[in-house]
Structure 1
Amino acid sequence: MHATVAVSLVSALLDHLENAGLERAALLHACGLEPAALVLPQRCIDAAYYEQLLWAGIARLHNPLIGLEFGMDAQPGRWGRLGFLLRHCATLGEALAYQARFAHLVNAIGEGRFVERTDDVAIEWHGPRPVMPAVLEEAFAAWLNFARWASGHDASPLRVEFEHRAQGDPAIYRHFFGCDVHFGCSASRICFDAALLALPLRGADAQLTAYMSAEIDQSARRVASQDIVDQLQNWLLASLGMPAPTLADAAAALQINERTLQQRLNSRDTSFRKSLDAARHTLALRYLGDAGLSVGDISHRLGFSEQSAFQRAFKRWTATTPLAWRRQRYRHSDPA
């Protein structure tokens, strides 16, 4: 699935960064996002905008823990209708089950899978690698903050595990989560006592929960039946490489005639070339977040025949070079 986030989540991040002293208009300009794109809270937009906002906050505030702090400040409203549903569930276990089922409507960068194990239960992160540490830390902190808020119980996990290294003082993580936090693990997960699943939530309303879950389920089905532009974008994001995919490749993969594919794209005021360009832009930003990939590696992964062609395309997208973009994002992200 193409990585998207709900406008409600992006708006909440903008509010958080504005409260920290940054100018909203400057943040929107930095990530190339128009204010008009944020009018409808339930609408989803490309996750690259959300990630760029996190990078901007980290760099401008000189604070690599922006993601964690944003999660610690989580309120149900940032999840739109899903947040409204979760706050009216009967128990924490029911809320977690709905969260796992519908979370992709709010944040499709990755997903938290609810796993019942022998000695505990866990929410495990599953998604594309590499994932920005701030994205993971926001999700984990937000899950716990919601559980505490909705239950009125100051519960703590048994342990928290992250694949990435600590982005700041480990004591800050331990203080918020209230347990040992491990880094450099084989997977990212938050583990807790199964007894916590039975905790009642203070806003329980069975009738409202049934109504909202049915409504959100209809939205989920609409998302599943994506139009041709979304299908093409998803395929390109999964298929980019050397050589670059062609219109004929895409038509065959989508089981549609080339001419029909062109006509449908034209009816949406786009084209295969524009879709390919958009997919390359999205993946370029994601790959540049991985310090282990060189610019040459990224150029090859994106299907450019020459690195210079990638350099020109990236400057057209961002008005800067790949190396300058990477330096700007990482300059202040390492803890002192």
Structure 2
Amino acid sequence: MIEAYGVSGPRFARRLGVPVRALENLNVRLPGSVIDTGFRNAMALIADPAFALRAAECWHPSHLKTLGYAWLVSGSLYTALSRLERFICIPAGRALLKCTETEAGLYVTYDTGRGDTALGHAMADFGLSLIISMCRTNVGGSVHLQSVSLRRPAPANPDPYQRFFKCEVTFGAERDGFVLPWKIVNRPLPTANAEFAQIFDDILVSELAQLTGADLVHRCRRFLMDSLSSGEPAEERLAEALSMSRRTLQRKLAENGLSYRVILDKIRHDLARRHLGSDEKSLTDIAFMLGFSEQSAFARAFKRWQGVSPSEYRSQGGAFYYGKPENLSAL
């Protein structure tokens, strides 16, 4: 992609401190920090702010190895995107994909894990261009999107985005994502093969289990944060979302000195202090946002974490400090 803009591949590799042969080897897995540095360098070297959309010109699903092959034999775009939602952390690390059913169609959101930043915007362009290109490859032609939303501010020249997505694009949105109409999402694909899909899924589950503890903890945090507003998520639901048994999840977290309850408490504690730092939300609202069934349960938990009640903490402007739960270095 960067060579399409006249940037020398070997020189770019040297800027990243990575051997050229590492970039040429599709089996090499680069650390997330190197990927981030690569995007920042590309942003500095390439004048076109929409450069990452051209990733689709240099891509094929097979570059994702097992996940790409599983994508190609999926029965429909619905099953393909659901498969990508489940296993995207294998190739993309911190990124998350979420599929939500709406009346207009399947709403697919893509979170790079880099926040609402210039880096996050570029990586969202990159990721969305690849995902939509994969959809077009599977369908074997044009895919008419219902709409596209991007977190990035409206660019001076939106034409590259209109040309690529070929639909209405909303900038400055809350999330990066797109909506696929149901008639496209549920259309049977000509390359579908259920037997091969099951074989590839078995391999992917094995690959998922080999992810490092840090990746696992990050994925646990992201799932729990997304689920809290619907009540306290059960440990079984978390394990299912990570495609592993409850016992396997417990064992892997224990290897990092952690547990489901420790991670959940840390997330709730952090979010509670953040919300209590202002008067925008009532204590009842905060309790339900953190997945507590009633305010009294939230108050007891907060006093255990912080040593004071939520109302005392708020009245003192968050001045209290009461240590932190043990074994949180991985968080």
Which TM bucket (shorter chain)? 0.5 to 0.7
Higher RCO (CA-CA < 8 Å; seq separation 6+): 1
1:210-241 alpha-carbon deviations (Å, 9 max, x no partner)? 11111111110121xx36xx489979xx9xxx
Q: 2:245 aligns to what? A: none
- 1:332 is aligned to none
- 1:255 corresponds to 2:257: yes
1:106 is paired with a residue whose SS is helix
Q: How far off its partner does 1:187 sit?
A: 1.8
Question: Counterpart in 1 of 2:3?
Answer: 18
Give distance in 2, aligned partners of 1:219 and 1:182: 36
Residue pair 2:13, 2:23 contacting (<8 A) in 1 also: no
1:104 aligns with 2:101: no
1:33 CA displacement:
1.6
Structure 2: distance between partners of 1:99 and 1:136: 16
1:210 and 1:255 map into 2 onto residues whose CA distance is: 34
The aligned counterpart of 1:51 is 36
Secondary structure class of the residue paired with 2:65: helix
The structure-2 alpha-carbon separation of the partners of 1:61 and 1:154, relative to structure 1 and needing over 3 Å to count, comes to: same
Please list the CA deviations of residues 151-210 of structure 1 after superposition, one character each: whole Å capped at 9, or x if unmatched: 113122111011111445212211211111010112222112122112233322222111
1:155 aligns with 2:143: yes
Give the corresponding residue for 2:283.
none
Larger Rg: 2
1:88 aligns with 2:73: yes
What secondary structure is seen at the aligned counterpart in 1 of 2:83?
helix
Structure 1 residue 30 displacement after superposition:
0.8
Paired amino acid for 1:30: R
Query: Counterpart of 1:216 in structure 2: which amino acid?
Result: L
CA–CA distance in 1 between the matches of 2:197 and 2:216? 35
Instruction: Give SS of 2:210's match.
Output: helix
Q: Secondary structure at the match of 2:109?
A: strand
Q: Give the root-mean-square deviation of aligned CA atoms.
A: 3.0
CA distance in 1: counterparts of 2:27 and 2:106, whole angstroms: 30
Q: Is the 8 A contact 2:66 2:203 kept in 1?
A: no
Tell me if structure 2 keeps the 8 A contact 1:88–1:208: yes
Find out whether 1:67 has 2:66 as its counterpart. no
Matches within 5 A, 1:25-36: 25-35=10-20
Counterpart-to-counterpart distance in 2, 1:142 and 1:134: 13
State the 1:253 CA deviation. 11
* Alignment partner, residue 204 of structure 2: 216
Task: Report the Cα offset of residue 122 of structure 1.
Answer: 0.7
**Counterpart of 1:114 in structure 2: which amino acid?**
C
> Residue by residue, what CA displacement relative to the aligned partner does 1:27-71 show, whole Å, maximum 9, x if unpaired?
011112234544763443222222322232333232221211113
Q: Distance in 1 between matches of 2:89 and 2:157?
A: 31
Measured in 2, the distance between the counterparts of 1:130 and 1:173 equals: 18
C-alpha spacing 1:79/1:114, structure 2 compared with 1 (3 Å): same
Question: What secondary structure is seen at the aligned counterpart in 2 of 1:44?
Answer: coil
1:247 maps to none
Distance 2:197 2:164 in 1: 30
- Give ranges in structure 2 of 5+ residues lacking alignment: 223-253, 259-331
Counterpart residue number, 1:185: 173
Normalised TM-score (structure 1) = 0.59
Pick closer, same or farther for the CA change 1:153–1:71 going to 2, 3 Å. closer
Distance of aligned partners of 1:128 and 1:54 in 2 relative to their CA distance in 1, 3 Å threshold: closer
Letter in 2 for 1:255: G
| Matched-pair identity in % | 17
Structure 1 residue runs without a partner (length 5+): 1-15, 239-251, 257-336
Answering whether residue 192 of structure 2 is matched by residue 204 of structure 1, we say yes
- Rounded to whole Å, the distance in 2 between the matches of 1:75 and 1:176 is 17
User: Separation in 2 of the partners of 1:73 and 1:23?
Assistant: 16
Q: 1:254 to 1:217 in 2, by over 3 A?
A: closer
> Quick check: 2:56–2:129 contact (8 Å CA) kept in 1?
yes
Tell me if structure 2 keeps the 8 A contact 1:57–1:63. no
Q: Which position in structure 2 is the counterpart of 1:282?
A: none
1:129 equivalenced with 2:127 (yes/no)? no
1:169 — aligned with what? 157
Contact persistence 1:89–1:95 (CA under 8 A): yes
Q: Secondary structure at the match of 2:142?
A: coil
Shift of 1:254: 4.6
Q: Structure 2 length as normaliser, TM-score?
A: 0.60
Alpha-carbon distance between aligned partners in 1 of 2:216 and 2:204, rounded to the nearest angstrom: 25
Bigger mean CA offset, 179-188 vs 69-78: 69-78
